[in-house]
Amino acid sequence: MTSPSVRTWPLVGTISAGWPSPAEEELLDKLSFDDWLIQDNCFMLSVTHNAMQDAGIHEGDIVIVQRGKKPHPGDIVIAAIDGQWVLRYYHIENGQPALYPGNGMYEVLYPKENLTVIGTLTACIRKY
Amino acid sequence: MFSHKWPKAIVHIDGDAFFASVEQAINPALKGKPVVTGKERGIIAAASYEARALGIKRGVTLWDAKKICPQLIVLPTDYETVSIFSKRMFDIMRLYTPTVEEYSIDEGFCDITGLRRVHHKSYEAIARDMQNDIHAKLGLTVSVGIATSKVLAKVASDYHKPAGLFAINSHTREAALKEIPIGDVWNIGPNTAALLKQHNFHTALAFTKAPKEYLANILSKPGLEVWQELNGQSVWPVSTAAKASYQSISKTKTFTPPSNKPEYVLAQLMKNLENACMKLRRYGQAASTISIFVKKQDHSYVGLHTKLSRATAYPKEIAGIVNTLFTSIYHQHTLYRATGVILSDLVSSTSIQPTLFENPVTIKKTKSLYGAIDMLREKYGKHAVHSAITLPAQKNQHLTSRGDVPKRKTILLKGETNRQRLPIPLLQVQVK
């Protein structure tokens, strides 16, 4: 849903070498950044650690996380593992969940008591 | 095939401890803990079910609450985040049916009559899907009632809070109403309840069994409509319309600490006037009667009202009158805690005629002035322009100390300003 103050950029199709032919140019429907990034089940999180830096997620970034969808192996998730909140890759090993870091300095985490996934990552945003 | 069991299917969805649940949703570390909001007021506005289990509920002072539970988590009210959650809750409801009525910030009605074929499931199952969807996407629970009328749907949603779901139809109606005290019924106020009890109707069921003719002699139309709704007959439809017009517009605000300074209390009153007039202009209306009131420390009210020589929506034209009314009710030794303004006898702003002794040029200038003010407000925010007399009231509405401002308000993401924020909730937990 677009608010009146949201700017949109027209997506004009791909550019091939040379001048675009007027016949080829086709204005597609406008997709706002709001609709592109946010759904009704999303929230933001400010990243404060670099456990996922190999995935390109750095301290100071804002990640967008969606709630309510079942995580698939390979998804980046926010999870509470034995009471601690982490941002990690979600995997299944021998039928049990395992949380992998995107940084060689961090360990793989296996839940001793419980693991709750709050949401899965859909975007990482960095403003310069 | 027409179903006599469900002539109409109306769903009432009610957030469970909504303000507190939102806090738990954005900070999952608070889940399962006793959480209350209202820190900036010194009194509990909302309490999580865990807090309620300890006897801490709305209206209890924070002082008393901390005595009962020293580990109680007390948070300031985060209206911004609660509004986002409220809007999302209604948007999720609209995924199931277009007929959604936003009754208040944390409850609403939907009409799902005839949609069983569309969803390929029973009304109860559709309502359960809505409930699960809200829980999955927002991280909080709501209680749901399904019935053949709004009043019954509200009774049903209240049946088994939190996270309850209950259906009342013609077969289950009587059992459901048997234990409901008459005063608990929606739209039966304390006066009507007292009256009905005098006639020996102490429960909702007893009330519904009374003959309509008997009630017609003691109740007015709204009371009879409640009777019809309780009997399963839908009288009040689920209304999707955004408010098209108002009977009256009122703005009231409490402030802390209470004050007896006339310039401050008047500033609060004028701020309410400006906001009420802003709303009037937004709906293209004007008011012919103005009432003002102040609330004292003992929670009693003093008010005055007056008719205006013609309808108006401009504070500039009413300010003098408000000042006069205020000086007649203000006492310098009284502490005040709230002020309010009510604008009534509304008419369309296009139908205003200047009175005989007015200068039409002045009126035209005032109209342009407020046209410009409204444009500035639209662009730069509600508080961008205001009259100087409201200056003392433009600071924080409540006495705040560090920790009394919602966490979200203290965080400014890159690109955000104090006025403009991203419209999605920010997770408040430390994530490694």
Query: What does the block give as tokens for A107?
Result: 């360990």
The chain B residues in contact with chain A (CB within 8 A) are: 26, 28-29, 88, 91-92, 133, 136-139, 411, 413-415, 422-427, 429-432
Per-residue confidence (pLDDT) for residue B97, from 0 to 100: 95
The whole-angstrom distance between B274's CA and the closest CA on chain A is 25
Nearest CB to B136 within list A46, A49, A67: A67
A&B contacts, CB < 8 Å: 69
End-to-end CA distance of chain B: 57
Nearest CB to B424 within list A44, A87, A118: A44
Assess whether pLDDT exceeds 70 at residue A2. no
Per-residue confidence (pLDDT) for residue B60, from 0 to 100: 86
The whole-angstrom distance between A127's CA and the closest CA on chain B is 7
Confidence of residue A10 (pLDDT cuts 50, 70, 90): low
Q: How much is the average pLDDT of A6-13?
A: 65
pLDDT tens digits, B198-208: 999 999 999 99
Contacts of A75 (CB under 8 A, 6+ apart): A89, A90, A120, A121
What percentage of chain A reaches a pLDDT higher than 90? Answer: 64
Per-residue confidence (pLDDT) for residue B356, from 0 to 100: 78
Per-residue confidence (pLDDT) for residue B362, from 0 to 100: 86
Per-residue confidence (pLDDT) for residue B208, from 0 to 100: 93
**Partner B contacted by A79 (CB < 8 A):** no
Cβ contact, residue pair A38, B424, below 8 Å = yes
Average pLDDT across chain A, whole number:
85
Cβ contact, residue pair A48, B430, below 8 Å = yes
Q: How much is the average pLDDT of B222-231?
A: 93
Q: Is the peptide bond before B257 cis (omega within 30 degrees of 0)?
A: yes
Cβ contact, residue pair B91, A1, below 8 Å = yes
How many helices (H) and strands (E) are present in chain B, helices listed first?
16, 12
User: By 3-state DSSP, what share of chain A in percent is helix, strand and coil, each rounded to 5?
Assistant: 5, 35, 60
Q: Is the peptide bond before B237 cis (omega within 30 degrees of 0)?
A: no
Cβ contact, residue pair B432, A42, below 8 Å = no
Cβ contact, residue pair A45, B425, below 8 Å = no
Q: How much is the average pLDDT of B185-194?
A: 91
Q: Which residue has the higher pLDDT, B401 or A33?
A: A33
Catalytic residues of B, by residue number, are: 107
Rounded Cα distance between B144 and B164, Å, is: 6
Per-residue confidence (pLDDT) for residue B1, from 0 to 100: 40
Confidence of residue B398 (pLDDT cuts 50, 70, 90): low
Q: Taking the CA of residue B208 as centre, how many other CA atoms within 13 Å lie in the half-sphere pointing to its CB?
A: 23
**Best residue in A85, A103, A122, A126 for a mutation probing chain B (most B CBs within 10 Å):** A85
Chain A hits for B430, CB-CB cut-off 8 Å, are: 48, 85
Per-residue confidence (pLDDT) for residue B2, from 0 to 100: 46
CA geometry: angle B337, B339, B342, nearest 5 deg: 155
Q: How much is the average pLDDT of B143-170?
A: 94
**Partner B contacted by A107 (CB < 8 A):** no
Its sign, for the CA torsion B94, B99, B102, B103, is negative
Confidence of residue A28 (pLDDT cuts 50, 70, 90): low
Confidence of residue B11 (pLDDT cuts 50, 70, 90): very high
Question: Which residue of A lies nearest to B26 if distances are taken between CA atoms?
Answer: A43
Confidence of residue B169 (pLDDT cuts 50, 70, 90): confident
The amino acid present at A128, given as its one-letter code, is Y
Strands B10-15 and A115-125: unpaired
Nearest CB to B92 within list A34, A40, A62: A40
Helix or strand or coil: residue B348?
Answer: strand
Cβ contact, residue pair B426, A3, below 8 Å = no
Strands of B214-370, DSSP E: 248-259, 285-296, 301-312, 336-348
Helical residues (DSSP H) of B332-424, grouped into ranges: 360-380, 407-410
Question: Which residue of A lies nearest to B133 if distances are taken between CA atoms?
Answer: A68
Its sign, for the CA torsion B23, B28, B406, B418, is negative
Cβ contact, residue pair A44, B425, below 8 Å = yes
Chain A hits for B426, CB-CB cut-off 8 Å, are: 43-46
Strands B285-296 and B301-312: antiparallel
pTM value surpassing 0.90: no
Cβ contact, residue pair A49, B138, below 8 Å = no
Query: What does the block give as tokens for B106?
Result: 């944390």
**Best residue in A33, A34, A41 for a mutation probing chain B (most B CBs within 10 Å):** A41
Rounded Cα distance between A84 and A96, Å, is: 18
Please say whether the beta carbons of B129 and B96 come within 8 A.
yes
Average pLDDT across chain B, whole number:
89
Q: Give helix B79-93 / helix B123-138 axis angle, nearest 10°.
A: 150
Q: How much is the average pLDDT of A48-74?
A: 94
pLDDT tens digits, B44-95: 889 999 999 999 988 888 888 999 999 999 999 888 899 899 999 999 999 9
Chain A hits for B427, CB-CB cut-off 8 Å, are: 43-45, 65, 78, 118
DSSP B243: P
The whole-angstrom distance between A73's CA and the closest CA on chain B is 20
Per-residue confidence (pLDDT) for residue B14, from 0 to 100: 96
Confidence of residue A23 (pLDDT cuts 50, 70, 90): low
Most confident of A11-15, B93-97, B103-107, B303-307: B93-97
Cβ contact, residue pair B432, A46, below 8 Å = no
Per-residue confidence (pLDDT) for residue B277, from 0 to 100: 93
Chain B hits for A86, CB-CB cut-off 8 Å, are: 431-432
Its sign, for the CA torsion B291, B296, B301, B302, is negative
Helix or strand or coil: residue B119?
Answer: helix
Phi first, then psi: give them for residue A73, nearest 5 degrees: -55, 130
Chain B hits for A52, CB-CB cut-off 8 Å, are: none
Per-residue confidence (pLDDT) for residue A107, from 0 to 100: 94
pLDDT tens digits, A65-97: 999 889 999 999 999 999 899 999 999 999 899
The whole-angstrom distance between B299's CA and the closest CA on chain A is 40
Chain A hits for B424, CB-CB cut-off 8 Å, are: 38, 42-44, 64
Per-residue confidence (pLDDT) for residue B379, from 0 to 100: 80
How many of the other CB atoms lie within 10 Å of CB of B331? Answer: 12
What percentage of chain A reaches a pLDDT higher than 70? Answer: 79
Contacts of B244 (CB under 8 A, 6+ apart): B283
Q: Give helix B315-329 / helix B360-380 axis angle, nearest 10°.
A: 90
Chain A hits for B28, CB-CB cut-off 8 Å, are: 80, 85, 116, 118
Per-residue confidence (pLDDT) for residue A14, from 0 to 100: 56
Cβ contact, residue pair A40, B137, below 8 Å = yes
Question: ipTM higher than 0.90?
Answer: no
Cβ contact, residue pair B88, A40, below 8 Å = yes
Rounded Cα distance between A61 and B211, Å, is: 67
Please say whether the beta carbons of A87 and A70 come within 8 A.
no
Cβ contact, residue pair A49, B425, below 8 Å = no
Confidence of residue B15 (pLDDT cuts 50, 70, 90): very high
